[in-house]
A and B are shown apart, each in its own frame.
Chain A
């Protein structure tokens, strides 16, 4: 039976462990998200958990918040071992979570969002509102409880989430990448709130991969890499470089010694490209300028969510630029301004596009492979002929891709969903290299694919580069970036902040630049 029924107790004195995770292991089909994670959080501290995307931070926090059950290991809160079957159990144990994707309803008022599910505490009337007002003051939330949530900005929404957690009596608060959506001033305000509450005895678990922020707010930092805890440190004494090393690991890729095929012929020129967030001043892309040459692989490094996705979708015409120019030069040297064109026209102009989320952006999952061959090429030979589709041509060319790119499939009539991730990706790579592109945009091209497919895809990109193709490569895999790129640009908060030479740069250095630990030339 669970002990989760215990009401929230005031946190013990600072220093005593309030959360202890021991030997936590969580497996998903084919992947071990957490393995043997150990974590001790002491009362009244801000405990940062650092790690790259996919390192297993989120899974760990979902386990602590009762959203997922560990396969192995134990959880102890305030010294008592608990089984957290659902978030309600966690809430009863005094744990609250501020989700990265806010769990709020836009059309309900601030008050309603806070009271929902916790009506039994103080009802939804006057008593509840009085309590809400007190908590709002504590967290710096100035909005009236009867305001619709919709009218609130991101920072205030986050405060509502925090109030929601406090309202339920949480003393231990998980903040899941709270700064990802905030501008610097808002981050400062948030940290102020956190420090104030810390003084009142609240404990915070702060998930982040931004090392500068971790160093400024945390009392302790635990680093997770590849699903397991690699160590705990004091952020006041450890250097950012050391921290980055812990996060990235020390294994170095074997940089390929290969001939440069970079020419001086421009293929893609971006100048001062801006993209404003919808209805906001904030720039998702801020004066991005770069050039990709024929035969060059330009790698964009950066922690995810710093504008890489937006950059790619802007170049593809899926988002409208707020300023600047995107110019594509074809093989004959004819330059075309792309800014006014739609996605299809840009593809026809010679851009191949490997999207980062293949199931959402690259495939029609229930359609057979040969139909997927047509997507994005519906106006061009060999799969189309004017307004008509060329079914025979599409099937023929799909067979060619299947053979040439080693797509393991029983046939070209199976739906795309039936293939493994790696084989889906090989099909996509084959398709996107088939339209005689002058530019290939490859966004996380080997994410979620098996080793064999990965090697194959890398080889294809290298060959295409050797044949004079310009490649824009976005990846979170630093080995991949360093191994494939001729030039690396680092992206941070929508801007290109530094440039690195893949021949000399180490993943550690790149990691530091990505997290904003240092700016300027990395190597």
Chain B
């Protein structure tokens, strides 16, 4: 009936005094800075603990392979949530993608596999769009249902189509993998540098070498999709319209934006990316063929990486890298390596504490000291960490980041909000 209350509320909420606008470092520079800082910390940790695996080529390579599916799912999440749809169904779409990849690759080679994975994932996205956009079903509910359905359909199809060939309903027959390419000259040079055992330089060389050795086209595509997503979403009119649907669909509609259409497109892309994430599990050398339960919650982790990255492409790249690195390190170095990483975390916290002291943020600095103290105690009192808990490093980090920084995160304003045409105002 009346709108007075709304007005009063909005008036109250909107009278935020303009904050002093700080000079910002450009995003790419910040990314480089973070990467250098990360390598520096790892380098010091590796040097002082004597655990080389922290920065070895092998670790970097494994981390990259493990980060890819997470990265692609996170990008999928980004597209959906920027258009205002929470996509918890990424997991299901990814599972569909794994099956599609194996099936396509088995019949038509890796590229056909990739295409099939994207199509299967996009079908899942389409289903999510029908439920959430057209029928305004709660986004989480629909996502959970899609995860169930994706799993069921995939198992059924695997049973129907793969079982007669592979003899195992849980597995596909061997499928072709993407060829890999190395920047040979550069790689060798970096290899020499790595062997040089010089602090920082050897470490940086090791990590870089891992990233440029035996790289598959899919890997390159996935990484390129980060800047591409950024450019499309932030530098084109289509991207602007898509994001406006996630921020204020009523305003967007009043300005002539077709909100439904943009949400549908966003979810198709989102599903396609998640499907591609599935393909990256199946079609990369070193990964399994289609295997039941091989996604193992990576869709959810992708979503977490996206939130970790504050709904920004660069940030989610960092999130995916963190998750991938934590996994890769554990695979290649085991508990000792993770313990060394803990040492790195202590160094990082020390840096943060210094910064916070400089900024006179006493509470944050104090918490940092306490955290560093706890981590150092763990490091000091243990020779190795339980291998059971290590795989969850990234999850713990995500929880801590959410607890500390959730008020600073900036999700799209209308994320997860049901929108129906003409119901605004």
Q: Residues on A close to B: CB < 8 A?
A: 53, 67, 86-88, 99-108, 112, 115-120, 123-124, 143-144, 147, 150-154, 156-157, 180-181, 277-282, 284, 304-305, 309-310, 356-360, 421, 444, 447-448
Contacts and interface: CB of A to CB of B under 8 A. Distances in A.
Interface stretch (B237-245, B279-287, B299-307, B391-399): B237-245
A514 to B, nearest CB: 15
B6 A101 contact: yes
B410 interface: yes
Given A105-B251, A108-B243, A278-B13, A356 B4 contact: yes
Contact of A108 (B15, B247, B254): B247
A181 B10 CA distance: 9
A107 B413 CA distance: 7
Given A101-B6, A101-B425, A181 B17 contact: no
B4 A151 contact: no
Nearest to B6: A101
Contacts of B254: 67, 87, 103
B389 interface: no
Contact of A284 (B3, B8, B251): B8
Given A103-B248, A112-B240, A151-B19, A157 B4 contact: no
Interface residues of B, number: 39
Contacts of A107: 243, 247, 410, 412-413
Nearest to A444: B2
B413 A309 contact: no
Nearest to A183: B15
- A-side binding surface: helix, strand, loop or mixed? loop
A117 B21 contact: no
Interface in B1-34: 1-8, 10-19, 21
Interface of B: 1-8, 10-19, 21, 235-237, 240-241, 243-244, 247-248, 250-252, 254-257, 410, 412-413, 425
A123 B236 CA distance: 9
Contacts, number: 136
Contact of A105 (B7, B16, B247): B247
A156 B14 CA distance: 11
B1 A284 contact: no
A395 B4 CA distance: 33
B329 to A, nearest CB: 35
Contacts of A86: 256
A278 B413 contact: no
B240 A278 contact: no
A473 to B, nearest CB: 16
Given A119-B240, A180-B7, A356-B5, A104 B18 contact: no
A88 B248 CA distance: 18
A309 B251 CA distance: 26
Given A151-B18, A357-B1, A357-B4, 13 more contacts: A106-B413, A107-B413, A112-B243, A116-B241, A119-B237, A119-B240, A143-B18, A144-B21, A152-B18, A156-B18, A181-B10, A277-B12, A278-B13
A447 to B, nearest CB: 7
A360 B17 CA distance: 30
Contacts of B18: 143, 151-153, 156
A310 B8 contact: yes
A280 B15 contact: yes
Q: Which of B8, B241, B247 has the most CB of A within 10 A?
A: B8
B15 A154 contact: yes
